[in-house]
């Protein structure tokens, strides 16, 4: 399979965008070494753009991003793609509205994942962004579709764009790669604040009606018109 010229411009822009978004993972302290990645769907094509495997964040360039098909096979690029490519490709295959996927092992969110415990919705920010608790997905190992399946099954039964995969880390989705990065940043911030709160005593739950109206307002009315 080769990439035709009509999609080449789109892919070039996504290479720049996906590369640049990795700087947000380091800016917010969500990753160590090379463990964490961003990908984007190529709209209208069964392709994705993702970080190369094992390349330091300082050495990422638009050129060394890897283009894969939605089976995770390399279509364009000199490097092997992220080891999370199969899982992310599965998400793009199953959830057509998803335009971006992010994976991190950010500390506080992953600490909840290590306990297999959802982050309870006790902050307005959590209601805004996640529409309820941040859910936990199953334990799954790399090698087949089980991580992708776990992500999709968990997120299909939740309004949350983030899932804490048990004993592993965070996967987030968004309409764009940037939205998925934002969800990863917010997930870590909420996980940290709720953790700190619990050291002081039990947090006060939000009422479901308040969660629903906060989520609705933030998702539909918040921001610039
Ligand atoms: Zn991982």
pLDDT in tens, 22-41: 999 999 999 999 999 999 99
Structure tokens at 119: 């982050």
Single out the residue of 94, 112, 90 nearest to residue 165, CA to CA.
112
pLDDT higher than 90, residue 224: no
Report how far ligand 1's centroid is from the alpha carbon of 220 (Å).
32
Q: Flag whether pLDDT at 217 surpasses 90.
A: yes
- The strand pair at 47-50 and 66-69 is best described as antiparallel
**pTM for the whole thing?**
0.95
Cβ-count burial of 148 within 10 angstroms (0-12 exposed, 13-18 middle, 19+ buried)?
buried
Q: How far is the CA of 93 from the centre of ligand 1 (A)?
A: 20
**Res 2: pLDDT:** 55
pLDDT tens for residues 165-187?
Answer: 999 999 999 999 999 999 999 99
- Provide the residues around ligand 1 (an ion) whose CB is within 5 A: 169
pLDDT tens-digit series, residues 86-137: 999 999 999 999 999 999 999 999 999 999 999 999 999 999 999 999 999 9
- Give me the percent of the chain exceeding a pLDDT of 70: 98
Structure tokens at 116: 């297999």
* Alpha carbon of 168 to ligand 1 centroid (Å): 6
Percent with pLDDT over 90 in the chain: 93
Ligand 1 midpoint to CA 198 (Å): 26
Give distance in angstroms: CA of 120 to centre of ligand 1: 23
């Amino acid at each position: 399979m080769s990439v035709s010229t009509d999609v080449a411009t789109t892919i070039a822009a996504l290479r720049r965008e996906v590369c640049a978004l990795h700087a947000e993972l380091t800016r917010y302290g969500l990753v160590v070494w090379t463990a964490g990645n961003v990908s984007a769907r190529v709209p209208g094509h069964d392709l994705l753009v993702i970080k190369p495997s094992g390349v330091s964040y300082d050495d990422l360039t638009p050129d060394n991003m890897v283009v894969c098909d939605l089976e995770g096979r390399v279509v364009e690029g000199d490097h092997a793609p992220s080891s999370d490519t199969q899982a992310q490709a599965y998400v793009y295959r199953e959830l057509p509205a998803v335009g971006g996927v992010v994976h991190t092992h950010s500390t506080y969110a992953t600490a909840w994942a290590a306990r297999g415990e959802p982050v309870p919705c006790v902050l307005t920010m959590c209601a805004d962004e996640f529409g309820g608790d941040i859910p936990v997905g199953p334990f799954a190992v790399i090698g087949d579709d089980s991580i992708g399946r776990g992500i999709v099954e968990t997120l299909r039964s939740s309004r949350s764009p983030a899932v804490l995969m048990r004993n592993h880390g965070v996967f987030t989705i968004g309409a764009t790669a940037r939205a998925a990065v934002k969800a990863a940043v917010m997930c870590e911030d909420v996980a940290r604040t709720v953790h700190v709160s619990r050291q002081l005593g039990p947090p006060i739950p939000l009422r479901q009606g308040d969660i629903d109206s906060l989520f609705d307002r933030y998702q539909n009315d918040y921001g610039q018109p």
